[in-house]
A and B are shown apart, each in its own frame.
Chain A
């Protein structure tokens, strides 16, 4: 069955179709988290540059074995403002994240929009959705609901990567280590926590890059507008006609036609 994109105007009223998409809590927390995450990434890099070596265990310093030597130079002098900004941004993300989690359960956002259904997770459906993403042909997906790849990535970021970044970050605070030593033990030491913090943050960065790419591919302006106003106005422009990489640069042998041939 080809999923309907909806008519341009409502047949009964003659008004443009307005599809509600994003709830108020989702929109507010999305932008707060976006600003906070951007600040965390910038300041995180500033802090990392002071010592771009990662270790495993409790301790580590130049002269000891590293877990990984990041191929970037030591640059001193930016960790001061870096740490000030990092904690300010972390508070923004924690507040926003808490509001999002509470709001998400209260409005059934998670149940309705984020948790993938058993049907979605069935291998044939999963395979088809993943294949669509790999071919940059997601625009043939329905836009009134998140597909299974989106749902799984959102769930991982919200419930795994985000909390992991937070907890591993807290674990290398000497003051908090004195309050809950078990937090440090959980990560196998304060330097291990720092290393895990780096990789969990890297996963978030990867998510942000893919997220921005997908938003750009499927209509940046319309999607940003939907995340601000909460509504997908003008069904003619939204969902916009499929313009995918596979269409822009067709490759022989993939057998893809724009718009898809789902049946």
Chain B
């Protein structure tokens, strides 16, 4: 009996130590490979890191969100939130966004501002994709816009850029990693279901991140910046949603 118990103790201690060391090693390796989310702190951070790393490894940079046909477009598309109360936003809206500019800066070769007309002059793409709200409801819509990767190519991405951080006219700032920023279905969208982007859905330009929950696809864009360290922004959690208790990674 005692032999059995001591063998068990040795086995258990050994396994725990091995698991601990493997965990530590894996965490460091994951950090080097950009597999650790900004909100990796505490007990929940362990789950988040596992989920983010697993999905990043499984999906790679190129897996494509399913695309649907026009017949699949939802007839009911609820609106979450309201247009920003921001004075600047309403001044630009009154003038049909003629003076609106998207500022692109940070770790780029040439910081630049883009007008709506400029964005519309670039190669336009359309996707009919599913968007789910973190609450549980969802819809399918057609989005038209320019690929974010196209715009980023124009300004030149620095090799050590790790995140794209987006600032809208409201408080819902967000960030995505470069894998999603350069993904072919990540759009700066100015059209929805064949029409100009409605105000309720983010006019003049919203972000569209096809492989994550809706709250990453922020509306009313104003500026985007590339960075190598998300800690410089807000509380360092990568967005307003993580600061309110919602996970940064929304590939769920």
User: Are B78 and A83 closer than 8 Å at their CB atoms?
Assistant: no
Which stretch, B107-115, B165-173, B240-248, touches the partner chain A?
B240-248
What are the residues of chain A within 8 A of B8 when measuring CB–CB?
A: 24
What are the residues of chain B within 8 A of A100 when measuring CB–CB?
A: none
Majority secondary structure of chain B interface residues (helix, strand, loop or mixed): loop
Check if B196 is an interface residue, CB within 8 A of chain A. no
What are the residues of chain B within 8 A of A87 when measuring CB–CB?
A: 47-48, 50-51, 247, 252
**With the chains together, A177 CA to B58 CA distance in Å?**
11
Most buried by A among B51, B59, B68, B138: B138
What are the residues of chain A within 8 A of B210 when measuring CB–CB?
A: 174, 178
What are the residues of chain A within 8 A of B75 when measuring CB–CB?
A: 64
**With the chains together, A172 CA to B247 CA distance in Å?**
16
Check if A12 is an interface residue, CB within 8 A of chain B. no
User: Are B211 and A174 closer than 8 Å at their CB atoms?
Assistant: yes
With beta carbons under 8 angstroms apart, the residue of A53, A59, A63, A172 that contacts B252 is A172
Check if A76 is an interface residue, CB within 8 A of chain B. yes
With beta carbons under 8 angstroms apart, the residue of B51, B59, B72 that contacts A58 is B72
What are the residues of chain A within 8 A of B63 when measuring CB–CB?
A: 175, 178-179
Check if B135 is an interface residue, CB within 8 A of chain A. yes
**With the chains together, A72 CA to B77 CA distance in Å?**
23
Within 8 A of B (CB), among A70-111: 76, 79-81, 83-85, 87-91
Check if A232 is an interface residue, CB within 8 A of chain B. no
Q: List 5 A-B contacts (CB under 8 A).
A: A59-B74, A91-B51, A174-B211, A190-B132, A194-B136
Check if A173 is an interface residue, CB within 8 A of chain B. yes
Chain A: which residue is nearest B249 at the CB level?
A175
Interface size class of A (residues with CB under 8 A): 35 or more
User: Are A174 and B135 closer than 8 Å at their CB atoms?
Assistant: no
User: Are B130 and A190 closer than 8 Å at their CB atoms?
Assistant: yes
A residues with CB within 8 A of B? 24, 47-48, 50-51, 53, 58-64, 76, 79-81, 83-85, 87-91, 172-179, 181, 184, 190-191, 194
**With the chains together, A178 CA to B65 CA distance in Å?**
4
User: Are A175 and B211 closer than 8 Å at their CB atoms?
Assistant: yes
Given A60-B137, A64-B76, also A174-B213 (CB < 8 A): yes
User: Are B130 and A176 closer than 8 Å at their CB atoms?
Assistant: no
Chain A: which residue is nearest B250 at the CB level?
A174
User: Are A175 and B43 closer than 8 Å at their CB atoms?
Assistant: no
User: Are B135 and A51 closer than 8 Å at their CB atoms?
Assistant: yes
16 additional contacts, CB 8 Å, given A84-B47, A177-B211, A179-B63?
A: A48-B136, A51-B137, A61-B74, A61-B76, A79-B134, A79-B135, A84-B44, A84-B48, A85-B44, A88-B46, A90-B47, A174-B130, A174-B251, A179-B59, A190-B132, A194-B136
**With the chains together, A47 CA to B245 CA distance in Å?**
13
One digit per residue, 1 when the CB lies within 8 angstroms of any chain A CB and 0 when it does not, for chain B 212-224 equals 1100000000000
Chain B's nearest CB lies how many Å from the CB of A195? Answer: 11
User: Are A58 and B130 closer than 8 Å at their CB atoms?
Assistant: yes
B residues with CB within 8 A of A? 8, 43-44, 46-48, 50-51, 55, 58-59, 63-66, 68, 72, 74-78, 130, 132-140, 210-213, 244-247, 251-252
Chain A's nearest CB lies how many Å from the CB of B225? Answer: 24
With beta carbons under 8 angstroms apart, the residue of B78, B245, B247 that contacts A62 is B78
Most buried by A among B58, B68, B140: B58
User: Are A59 and B138 closer than 8 Å at their CB atoms?
Assistant: yes
Chain B: which residue is nearest A51 at the CB level?
B136
**With the chains together, A81 CA to B46 CA distance in Å?**
14
**With the chains together, A172 CA to B244 CA distance in Å?**
23
Chain A's nearest CB lies how many Å from the CB of B80? Answer: 10
With beta carbons under 8 angstroms apart, the residue of B50, B72, B137, B245 that contacts A61 is B137
User: Are A175 and B59 closer than 8 Å at their CB atoms?
Assistant: yes
Chain A's nearest CB lies how many Å from the CB of B143? Answer: 14
**With the chains together, A191 CA to B136 CA distance in Å?**
8
Chain B's nearest CB lies how many Å from the CB of A95? Answer: 9
What are the residues of chain B within 8 A of A179 when measuring CB–CB?
A: 58-59, 63
Chain B's nearest CB lies how many Å from the CB of A200? Answer: 16
**With the chains together, A24 CA to B55 CA distance in Å?**
32
What are the residues of chain A within 8 A of B58 when measuring CB–CB?
A: 175-176, 179
Given A174-B252, A177-B65, also A58-B138 (CB < 8 A): yes
**With the chains together, A87 CA to B213 CA distance in Å?**
15
What are the residues of chain A within 8 A of B78 when measuring CB–CB?
A: 61-63
